[in-house]
Structure 1
Amino acid sequence: MTAPIIDAHQHLWRVDDGYTWLDDPALTPIRRTFTPADLRSQLAANGVDRSILVEGGRCDPGEAAVLLSHAAATPEIAGVVAWADPEDPALAETIAGYRRLPGGHLLVGIRSQVQSEPDPLYLDRPSVRHGLRVVGSLGLAFDLVIRADQLPAAARCARALPSVRFALDHLGKPPIRSGDITRWAAGLAELAACPNVTAKVSGLVTEADWESWTVGVLSPYISKAVDLFGVDRLMFGSDWPVCELAGGYRRWVSALRECLPDGAVFGPVAARTYDLGRE
């Protein structure tokens, strides 16, 4: 039996429901509501069986109820990575509340917007690491959405918390527009040395020039990730609908298949990272 193809990273949002980051004029093409029906259409059109629904930058606990309800009603959504603040003293209770919601059994991970933290030592804070231990102890993964300059701090954190499963979003946002691969690659190497970290090959088209990117432009970054993580710790993510800013779902999947002929990244790693076998 062929393993299902899993998109490890996509979003849904109601445009008038607190997603203020969409007010940026450059984001006009995606400043609208995206529904489960829209998602199902994209998955079917691209031969993708299931997906992981990830919090969308609203950054409040109320979003979890919406996302989990979508998952409960949409068979293609295999799991939800919900937002929570790692420094929340009541984090365990917050997560328990999520699990009591309709669809709560589909909670597979937690994410916070670490990329927006100005403190370069945010992931070194004892309060943050305590929260991440809570996440891990509850059987959930933690998604690292970080800037390239935060990779060394993420590596220190992952080394300090070997029992926590981390998923690196968007390969740590490499500076593809500038082509400055050296510092990013060094930071990625530190994080890849941690066996409790997997990484999503996702979000790269919006780190490149939205209009002019090519497979040749993306290939060095994908190849470096393969060298450092191996295909057995990498997973495909569309970052849909954000990828609509730079060519769309189909073009990204086609580019990734060209760079990664090995099919391993299209399902098994996501299933392991998010413990989907418990379904």
Structure 2
Amino acid sequence: MIVDAHHHLWQLDGGYDWLDAPELAPIRRTFGPVQLQGELTGAGVTRTVLVEGGRCDTGEAAILLAHTLDAPEIAGVVAWADPADPALEATLAGYFSLPGALSLVGVRAQVQAEDVGYLDRADVRRGLERIGRAGLTFDLVVRVEQLPSAARAAEALPGVSFVLDHLGKPRVRAGAEGLAEWRALVAGLAARPNVTAKLSGLVTEADWSGWNAEDLRPYVEEALTLFGPQRLMFGSDWPVCTLAAPYQVVKETLEELLRDVDEPGRARIFGGTATEVYGLRDGTAGVQSPRRNRWH
């Protein structure tokens, strides 16, 4: 079983204004379950986690959860919610009442758009704690300079399961400077046992038209050292990844970079970690891991 722990789906007219950037023209179209299923079949991927796509409103959750009813491959959904919203508790309760709610496994906010100390705020910390109490993970999509504040939040909230998206978005295209910057800042977050990380999104942090596997190797190797296979998971970041590489190339590149990892370690990265951390439901039986706490 192979799990893709990070991908997106969106409707072109669905409020994803960030797609208006000129360089994003190749992905400025609708991506739905049918297109996803074609990619999964070609790459031998059996289950996935669908992540909010930057629309940043509560209405998106119903759409993402509804996809799981038609596409059994989508075993989990990470929906958008604002941790600082005073109505967060009601928002989460509403999500759990939606069709497909059994697949709600996590929450994400666009922290990368906030100031560097956003995760240090008391109101944000209270919201993160509520998310953890609801049995949901919190996905961290952060800039490199936000990694220290993410580490402080993870240390202060040991009962919350944090998932670092895209290894913290290192500046791969900056070469040795980007690597040194990221390496110095990610270690503190990796030291927290309640943090896992996704080997995802690296191709679009590299030179879109000129990257190769060796550009990504030092990040993957450092992640293996800091997190170990037990706390790492594969994510395609499709369809965003297609700006730099097709789905299958992204997967095959990671397989090549993990060639020296033993079979149990690769099994964790390509499925076991995501299944455990997100408590993914069984798409064939319609049941969910008992690890997940439901809303109460």
Q: TM-score, normalised by structure 2?
A: 0.92
Distance 2:142 2:162 in 1: 12
Report the counterpart of residue 124 of structure 1 in structure 2. Answer: 120
The reply to whether residue 11 of structure 1 matches residue 15 of structure 2 is no
1:34 corresponds to which of 8, 13, 31? 31
Specify every segment of 5 or more residues in structure 2 that has no aligned partner in the other structure, as ranges.
Answer: 282-287, 290-296
Asked if the contact 1:141–1:274 (Cα under 8 Å) also holds between the matched residues in 2, the reply is yes
1:139 and 1:247 mapped to 2: Cα distance?
Answer: 34
Secondary structure of 2:135 counterpart: coil
Question: Which of the residues 22, 25, 28 maps onto 1:25?
Answer: 22
Counterpart for residue 167 of structure 2: 171
Please say if residues 72 and 106 of structure 1, whose CA atoms lie closer than 8 Å, have aligned partners that are also in contact.
Answer: no
**3-state SS, counterpart of residue 55 of structure 2:** coil
TM-superposed deviation, 1:247? 1.3
Shift of 1:88: 1.0
What is the SS of the residue equivalent to 2:96?
A: helix
Q: Who is 1:258 aligned against? A: 256
Give the match for residue 209 of structure 1: 207
Q: Is the 8 A contact 1:7 1:51 kept in 2?
A: yes
2:144 corresponding residue in structure 1: 148
Q: Which residue of 1 aligns with 2:226?
A: 228
Separation in 2, partners of 1:132, 1:272: 20
The separation in 2 between residues aligned to 1:25 and 1:71, in whole angstroms, is 31
- Where does residue 63 of structure 2 map in the other structure? 66
Residue 275 of structure 1, CA deviation:
1.4
* Secondary structure in structure 1 of the residue aligned to 2:172: coil
State how 1:54-203 maps to structure 2 within 5 Å.
54-117=51-114, 119-179=115-175, 180=177, 181-203=179-201
CA contact (8 A) 1:144 1:167 kept: yes
Q: Which residue of 1 aligns with 2:280?
A: 276
**Residue 245 (structure 2) aligns with:** 247
Is the partner of 1:167 in helix, strand or coil? Answer: strand
Secondary structure in 1 matching 2:206: coil
Normalised by the length of structure 1, the TM-score is 0.97
Aligned mates of 1:186, 1:226 — CA distance in 2: 15
Distance 1:172 1:74 in 2: 29
Kindly provide the amino acid, as one letter, of the partner of residue 56 in structure 1: G
1:120 CA drift (Å): 1.5
Kindly provide the CA deviation profile for residues 136-174 of structure 1, in whole angstroms up to 9, marking residues without a partner as x.
000000000000110000000000000000000000001
CA RMSD of aligned residues (A): 0.8
Aligned match of 1:267 = 271
Give the secondary structure class of the aligned counterpart of 1:187: helix
Give the Å deviation of 1:54.
0.1
8 Å Cα contact 1:87/1:128 also seen in 2: yes
Calculate percent identity across the aligned residue pairs. Answer: 59
Distance 2:186 2:158 in 1: 17
Q: Quote the Cα distance in structure 2 between the aligned partners of 1:125 and 1:153.
A: 10
Question: Which stretches in structure 1 are left out of the alignment for 5+ residues?
Answer: none
Deviation of 1:71 (Å): 1.1
- Determine the C-alpha separation between the residues in 1 that align with 2:69 and 2:195: 28
Deviations 1:202-249 (A, max 9, x none): 000000000110011110111111110001100000000001100111
